[in-house]
Amino acid sequence: MLQDPSGPAPTGSAQGRTRFFERWGSTLFLIALILIWEAAVKVFEVPAFLLPAPSDIARLTYDEWPLIQMHSLATIWAVLTGYLAAVGFALVVSALMIRFPLFERLMMPIFVGLQSVPKIAIAPLILVWVGAGIGSKILVVMSIAFFPIVINTMAGFKEVDQGLTDVFRSVAATERQMLVRLRLPYAVPYIFAGLRIATTLAVLGAIVAEWLAASNGLGYLVLSGSFNFNTARSFAAIIALAVIGTLFFNLMSWIETRVSWRSGLADSTAHS
């Protein structure tokens, strides 16, 4: 009797295990890493100012929760305001560039050049111009987060089917009508690809601003913990940042599934 070269079909229990690990595998792996971290710190007697145990970080987080919460809210506010400013600026500039090709040829090299400069070098200038405070945070976040939105939005505008463009032109549609009724709906998946990338960059921008000159925020808390050799506090702030960034990214992905006609599109910057 001939046997199926592909092997026997997976049983129900095997499929159940596969689904279980697909859903909970990353969580179990993270728990395993935390347990290994805890055991290694205890066994090798690592000083707390070098590497605190996860239990010490959890204890400090519980004891200093009001402090961590206050600084988290300051960072979240800077991230959200800067992110929304970046989104508005990027969409307006993209609409102008697709409408006026000369404007794109003039501005895109400038955007690329600015994006190539490390923001840690631009942030001090923003602090000199604006001063320390929420305004400088918003501008730093905006300067980092707008570029992927512009790139992906322009890619979406330019990927509109030529046949649809010809149909709109055949009925004498204006450029404004083509933008609002054709290019923008078609570019929605590309826009959300840029928005998802910008979420993590917005958090990065807020931390850069808080490192340079701030009296609040999680970036400030990381530095204060390091200067005072309170490494557990720095780790608690870093974990809070990771949670904020992850929640922000997942929120944008959730909105995309409700709004976009084609979700999960890879960002255009990943392609040459």
Domain boundaries, the chain: 56-266
**pLDDT reported for residue 9:** 52
Tokens of 237: 């702030």
pLDDT (tens digit, 0 to 9) for every residue of the chain, 272 residues total?
445 555 555 556 777 777 777 777 788 899 999 999 999 999 999 998 899 999 999 999 999 999 999 999 999 999 999 999 999 999 999 999 998 999 999 999 999 988 888 877 887 888 888 877 788 889 999 999 999 999 999 999 988 877 877 788 778 777 788 888 888 888 898 999 999 999 999 999 889 888 887 778 999 999 989 888 999 999 999 999 999 999 999 999 899 888 876 655 544 444 43
Q: What is the pLDDT of residue 268?
A: 46
**Angle between the N-to-C axes of helices 54-63 and 12-43, in degrees from 0 to 180, rounded to the nearest 10:** 80
The Cα 182–Cα 160 span in angstroms is 8
Cβ count within 10 A of residue 7 = 7
Dihedral, CA atoms, 66, 70, 71, 75, nearest 10 degrees? 140
The rounded distance, in Å, linking the Cα atoms of 253 and 189 is: 11
> What are the distances in angstroms from CA 259 to CA 52, 93, 225, 230, 263?
43, 22, 41, 44, 9
List C-alpha distances in Å: 175 to 90, 186, 222.
19, 15, 49
- CATH superfamily of domain region 56-266: MetI-like (1.10.3720.10)
- What per-residue confidence (pLDDT) applies to 272? 35
Alpha-carbon distance of 31 to 131, in angstroms, equals: 43
